[in-house]
Each structure stands twice: as C-alpha cells, then as structure tokens.
A and B are shown apart, each in its own frame.
Chain A
Amino acid sequence: MDKQTLLKIAEQLNCEYEIGLTSEINDFLENQSNVNSFHLSYEDNYFKVSIRLKEFGLTESKLLFSSLACFIEYTSTFYVREDFEDYFEYTLLSSMRSKKAFLCRVIFTS
C-alpha cells in the first residue's frame, strides 16, 4: 500500500485535530531515552512529529514508531513508511469505529 491509498481511506473518515492526542504525544516522547529532541505541530489536517534520535537508524526508528503507534492508536490503524537518504517518514492513519480519526506524519532524523 502506498501513501495515496492510505489517504484515500482517510477521506472516508473524520480526520480532525484532537487536543488530547497532543498531550499524549508530548508525554510519550518526553519519556523516551533515545529521543534527543522533538517537535510537534498540526498542519494541513496532519499531526506532524519530527523526532531527532540519539542513535539513528532504521531499526531504532521502527522500534520507536511502533511504540508510539501502540500508545496513540485507536482501534484501526494503517501506516506507510517511506525511506529517504537521511530520514524515515511514516504516515499513520488511525480511526475509531465511529470514524473519528487522525492522520500523523512522523519523521525520524539523526
């Protein structure tokens, strides 16, 4: 599945800003030992999280992303990873059964 397919699914859901999620993402990342720094914002209907890792690599990125997804997801979750030369970018879509959902872009850098 590519990102466009995921975004098509997102069109059928009620993706919106959720202030509670802001608190959860902040608190989760503040407690991660491998996180050097991070920045969270909400732009264009996306939560956008940029994370600078102390030890950067695909494995480290996958581990942290899966923990984050586990922490913030609703009952249905899809995500797509795109690999770039010096960063990894995940696009995550998660939804409740009621179709309340959110989109989150997570970027891992060194």
Chain B
Amino acid sequence: MNARYYDSKIARFLSEDTYTGDEYDPLSLNLYTYCSNNPIIYTDPTGHWQEKDSTLSSSAQAQILEATKEYNYAKTHKLSTAAAEKKANDARKGKIYKTDTKVSASSIANDLKTVLSSKYVSDKAKSDVKKSKVAVAGTTVAGRTIVNEINTARKSTNNVNSQGTGKTTSTQGVGTSYIESSLNQLVYGNYTDDVTLLGTGAQILTGIIGIDLPADIRDITADLSNGDVGKLAIDTLAFLPVVGSFKYVDEVDTLLKNGNEVTTVIKGGNNAGYKANDTTPKGRTFTEHAAERANERGFSTKNIDDIVDNCKKPKTKVDWEGKKTYEYVDNRGNKVVLNEKGGIVSVHSPASGGKYIPSPSKK
C-alpha cells in the first residue's frame, strides 16, 4: 500500500485513488474503495492492479479489465459474480475468450422483428421475458438460456412460416452472437466495439427522431401499436443493448399482451382474408358470411377444423324454413356452425364481438 493510506478496520483508503475511475464502472468512481470492494479476486499493491497481472499478455489484461467491469456490474445489480471471477481467473491461466459480433444491424432488426411480430412467437417471446428474471438474477447459464429461447422462438416462426406460406427465412443463428454480446454488455458489463458502435448508432438515430433513450421493449410495443414499422426497426436496434436489463418486467408483460393483440391485427391474424368458397385443410367450405366472420373474429381454418373434429356431440338445430344446422363447440365456447352439406355458415364465441377464445396457455 505504497500509494495511499489504508484503514484496515473500515476497509477503505483514507486518501483518493490516483485513478479517477471509469464512468461505466460505478465502483471505480468511488475513489476510496479497495479493489472495487472485491479483495477476494484482486490484490492491489499499487492501488490499481493485481500484483502479477502486469506480466500477462495484453489480451489477458484486457480480459481481466472486462471481467472487472462485469464483476462490478454484477455486484452493483446484485447478480452472481461467478462468471466474472471465472473470466478473470481464466485470463490468468491463459484462456482468452473470443467474441463474435460480426452481424449486420439490418439482419438483427429483421430477426427480432420476426420474433416480436409473429403471432406464433409473441407468446414465446413473452415467456422469454419472464425467464429474463432468472437471467437477471442468475448466472451466465441463465443468460445463455434466454438467448437460446429467443433463437428457438425464431426457428419456430420459420417452421410455421415455411409450413403456412411456403416461405422460409434463414435460421442460421443470425443475431445470436449480437444478442449474446448485448446480454453480456448489459448483464455482465462486457462491452465490445461492435455492440457499442451499433448500440450507439441506434441511439444517435433514435435521438435524431426524438425517441426517449434508452429504447426498450415498451418502445417496440408502442411502435407495434402505432404500426410504425420504420421506428420499430430503429427501436429494435436500440432495444438490443438494453435487452439484458429488463427493468420493467411486469410492465413489459402487460405491454406484450397488448402487443400480441396489435400484432395480430398487423399480421392479419384477425383478417386472414378468407373468402367465400375457401376451404379448411379438412375440406370445409366457407360461405361468404362465415368467411367474413372468421376474418373479423380471428378464427383460423385450423381452429375451425379442430373445433369440429374434437366435438363429439354437435347440436342439431332446425330453423323455421326447415333448414338444419350443426353446432360444434369447444370447451371454451368457440362455436362453428355447419350446414347440411358440411359448409361453414358461422363462427363465433361468447366473448366480446364473438372473437375466438384462445386456450389459456396461448393467451
């Protein structure tokens, strides 16, 4: 302790550190702390640096500095410091981590947009956000879990897309490393040039068009609500650097529910464009009336086939003209009405506007 006076009883220096600190490293700004309050993984004979670290390679030193930031970030946010400690120790053993951030901004924006706007994946994305509680409170493994969940969600979208429309989107993990880097940046304080550049670029853009910073998923859901695709893309970019923080988990949960509904409208889930004489996969034909109802009430052809196929005892009704109809109902009250020829004459539910009631797990 040659540089400063140290009081072992209070574990504080009695004079300021000569190193003035790093704005991204909150604990370093307290010039009276010892080893960023972490005497376990660091010794600090000079007031700055572990005794033998200066003999390490420059990449190892850089990794230790990164680990220090990660450690401080984790400590500040009451996260596990295990990953940061391991990273620092690995650097001292010569194990240098590689980062891969060579991903284009547009592909990331498109990927995230796909995930967030798909009616099939929005629920999954919501689930990912909930799991982010674990990521924030947990470890590197949890952080990786959410990355994997997002990618799984994206693959699910692509599977659905390829089955439903014949169009296939690339699933080659595009964006994975960027998302990981973003998580690392936010959760573990691991800044890399690409992430910082992209995040900064997005923030400059959002600043130009007047979006509050930092952008987060609330901006994205608001964009979905307004149908503002251009702003959505930019917000999605700006969102990535803060994805790991998930500061507003409950609020996000609510907004995602709204986002789901809005997304459905934007993606045409409530207006699938069915027309008279269109058929379901099982060959049931829409009347003009039923096609109109299915469009506005969100009954898909699959929903209709499922309701009919799973209802063992349809009700038969006869109107005043002697015409028969058969009513098929599922356990949530969604109803499909067929005529004597098996054609679909109505779809409705007891819900407001007769809208299709999804299963609780898909709400």
| Chain A contacts to B: CB under 8 angstroms | 17-24, 27-28, 31, 41-42, 70-71, 74, 96, 98, 100
Contacts and interface: CB of A to CB of B under 8 A. Distances in A.
B350 interface: yes
Nearest to A98: B288
B323 A24 contact: no
Interface in B50-66: none
B320 A23 contact: no
A68 to B, nearest CB: 11
Interface of B: 287-290, 292-293, 317, 319-321, 323, 325, 327, 335, 337, 339, 345-346, 348, 350, 353-354
B337 A23 contact: yes
A23 B325 contact: yes
A23 B288 contact: no
5 contacts: A19-B325, A23-B327, A23-B335, A42-B319, A100-B288
A43 to B, nearest CB: 9
A42 B350 CA distance: 23
B346 A20 contact: yes
Contacts of A41: 320
B323 A20 contact: no
Contacts of B345: 18-20, 23
A21 B292 contact: no
B350 A20 contact: no
A20 B344 CA distance: 8
Given A70-B353, A71-B354, 16 more contacts: A17-B321, A19-B319, A19-B339, A19-B346, A20-B287, A20-B289, A20-B345, A20-B346, A22-B325, A23-B317, A23-B346, A24-B293, A28-B354, A42-B320, A71-B348, A96-B292
Given A19-B325, A42-B320, A24 B287 contact: no
A57 to B, nearest CB: 23
B321 to A, nearest CB: 8
Contacts, number: 51
Contacts of A31: 350
Given A19-B339, A22-B319, A27 B348 contact: yes
A70 B288 CA distance: 19
Q: Which 7 A-B pairs have the closest CB atoms?
A: A20-B346, A20-B345, A20-B289, A23-B337, A23-B346, A18-B289, A19-B345
A62 to B, nearest CB: 18
Most chain B C-beta atoms within 10 Å of own C-beta, residue among A23, A42, A70, A71: A23
A21 B337 CA distance: 10
A20 B319 CA distance: 11
A98 B287 CA distance: 13
Contacts of B350: 27, 31
Contacts of A21: 289, 346
Given A19-B325, A41-B320, A70-B353, A24 B288 contact: no
A22 B320 CA distance: 10
Contact of B323 (A19, A27, A28, A71): A19
B352 to A, nearest CB: 8
Contacts of B293: 20, 24
A20 B353 contact: no
Contacts of A20: 287, 289-290, 293, 337, 345-346
Contacts of B320: 41-42
A76 to B, nearest CB: 12
Contacts of B335: 23, 27
A74 B290 CA distance: 11
A93 B60 CA distance: 78
A21 B346 CA distance: 7
A24 B348 contact: yes
Contacts of A22: 319, 325
B228 to A, nearest CB: 25
A31 B350 CA distance: 7
A71 B47 CA distance: 74
B329 to A, nearest CB: 10
